[in-house]
Amino acid sequence: MDIEESASSAQRELDRGTAVVIGATGGIGKALSLALAEQGVSLCLVGRSSDRLAAIANGAKDKASRILSYQADLTVDDDLRKLTGNLQRDLTSIALLIHSAGSISIGALKDAAVEDLDRQYQVNVRAPYQLTQALLPMIRIGRGQIVFVNSLVGLSAKGGSSQYSMAKHALKALADSLRQEVNSDGIRVLSVFLGRTATPMQAAVHRMEGRNYAAELLIEPGDVARMVVTALSLSRTAEVTDITIRHSIQSA
């Protein structure tokens, strides 16, 4: 296969259906949504803020072949049920399901609130599990791909972030187990383990830590999006299962 044939095959991987982006209004979710729009992919954008959803849809409208938006709070069961019902009503198949929503609280175990653990579990583990389970029949129809945006603490826990690390370890387990269950159906599952990335959530983490936030020293969401789109574009003779990205040592 020459370079042109390879590029054509890669484009077909992103032309086969609709991408559902959970957490589309976050920094990484927005970058992924816009990068997929550049490929002409149909988008279903999911986020908490209707204003941010509208802004992203407006930025992608001239490139994406179709855009649907759904406002939902992943900590609210009624929102999850409504979201699932709307997606099942509006779609017949799903080519990409991207989980990029996240919630984080930091603090030592001795004084970290259990309520914070519950919220992080809901957003980082329970919602991805529940939505993937509900949408899996449509992903099977499309022989689709599933992406879990994770964190480096999902590979190696650090002090002061036990709750977030626990949730991200659980998300890795979900992805690894799911991959073994669905690969035989032609479904690919990708985990993306990120270091500190220039997003609003990371800015909030810096405030929690009492540190100055310098976005220019962190991973750029656009770089994450380009890496993910490249992995998703590979022909079906290959599967990227894990991507690890950290910020440059020189910029630390």
CATH class of 3-246: alpha beta
The residues, ordered by sequence, that sit 6+ positions from 37 with a Cβ below 8 Å of its Cβ are 43, 59, 60, 63, 64, 67
Prediction pTM value? 0.90
pLDDT at 12: 59
Contact criterion met (CB below 8 Å) for 23 and 29 = yes
DSSP code at position 124: I
Q: Within its chain, how far is the Cα of 150 from the centroid? A: 8
Cβ-based neighbours of 38, under 8 Å, separated by 6 or more: 63
Rounded to whole angstroms, how far apart are CA atoms 76 and 88?
Answer: 19
Look at residue 11 and tell me whether its pLDDT is greater than 80. Answer: no
- pLDDT, tens only, 29-75: 999 999 999 999 999 999 999 999 999 999 998 888 899 999 999 99
Please name the residue that has the structure tokens 């519950």: 118
State the pLDDT at residue 218.
Answer: 81
* Phi (first) and psi of residue 14, to 5 degrees: -100, 0
Residues 6 or more apart in contact with residue 70 via CB below 8 angstroms: 44, 45, 46, 53, 83, 86, 87
pLDDT tens, position by position, 116-137: 999 999 999 999 999 999 999 9
Nearest to 36 by CA among 69, 13, 4: 13
Pick 191 or 221 by higher pLDDT: 191
Q: Which residues, 6 or more positions from 90, have their beta carbon under 8 angstroms from its beta carbon?
A: 44, 68
